[in-house]
Amino acid sequence: MNNGVVVAGVGMTRFVKPSESPSYTELGADAVRMALADCGLGWESIREAYVGYVYGDSTCGQRALYGVGMTGIPVINVNNNCATGSTALWLARNAILSGRADCVLALGFEQMQPGALVEHWQDRPGPLDEFVRAADEANFDPGAPMAPKMFGGAGIEHQRRYGTRSETFAMIRAKASRHAVHNERAIFRKEVTVDEVMAAPKVTSLLTRLQCCPPTCGAAAAVLCSPEFARRHGLDGRVTIVAQSMTTDFPSTFADHDLMKVVGYDMTAAAAAAAYAEAGIGPEDVNVAEMHDCFTANELITYEGLGFCPAGGAEKFIVDADNTYGGRVVTNPSGGLLSKGHPLGATGLAQCFELTGQLRGTMGARQVEGARIGLQHNLGLGGACVVTLYRAG
């Protein structure tokens, strides 16, 4: 196992509705300034920058960073759908592990348009054609928007296989809302009950509107460095990334005609297994996790993909409250995408922000007591999945 890459500084803007959002240049620059202030470094210390966003021109990363400083460093723009932020983080970590740079920035932002997030998935071209076809062939919820059709269909697959109740999916959203009450950066901070989730307007036969993440604007950033750089500059080196794995689709994604696999179950399981092996730990060692809960159905099947419970065990895991405070692993203490919001390019780095704070022990009312190992799961269709493991040292 490597000695880890230090998460020296993190920053995150408040996530807001598109109608309330400043420009992406303001969002991105603000997150970077916060991350630099958090570690006490100036812009001149950054040797490379990896900038993630989904909606924007090819050099929006430069445009956002030029408001902070212009030092001629490499700026690499990243787009990996909803896994974009974690892909930028993965690239930044590998730049340090390679020895090419000793202090690197990862930034993610998104300035989305008004309207339900489910509508942003309509008419996505080219690379997602196979996913549309897979959902249509499964014949779940004809006429529903593509993303909730697929993720909702994955939930229905789980119901058919294991008898999972619809109310169990709604329990995930209710849990997310309880956590988000204590997150001042979350877009939705009102607690909702299972009954309220179930009574919300239907998007698919399984998912209600409250079980789908909202379109959101925001930014988050992380400054990564080598342990040697952190010691040399007197930086806070308590939190390190000790393992990370990125996977893309396997033949099983489409060949098995299983919507759980279409939406990334196999990618998740493979990335998690590789990350656990690299870190020399198992899922039982994880105290806190930030997971890609774009829809409640995805969080439920991801519990199993990450090994938090056995196949078919997600309902018991949820009913026993093993996914929240006092349980086995606190999932999405931030409120997750469902309550915190999902500005696509920023999501992975917002997860990094939350887990770094949790492992530092600085998250106030939502602090997970005794958190030592954190897991980050970020998924994008098309497809990519990044699993990252953090340790408090």
Q: Kindly list the catalytic residues.
A: 82
Contact between residue 270 and residue 250 where contact means Cβ atoms under 8 Å apart: yes
- In what order do the strands lie in the sheet containing 48-52? 75-78, 48-52, 103-110, 218-225, 5-12, 239-247, 384-392, 373-380, 288-290, 330-331
Tokens for 141?
A: 């919820």
Q: Per DSSP, what are the bridge partners of residue 295?
A: 212
Q: Per DSSP, what are the bridge partners of residue 218?
A: 110
**Cα–Cα distance, 35 to 366 (Å, whole number):** 21
Is omega for the bond preceding 67 within 30 degrees of 0, making it cis? Answer: no
Report the Cα 325 to chain-centroid distance in Å.
Answer: 20
Q: Per DSSP, what are the bridge partners of residue 222?
A: 10, 106
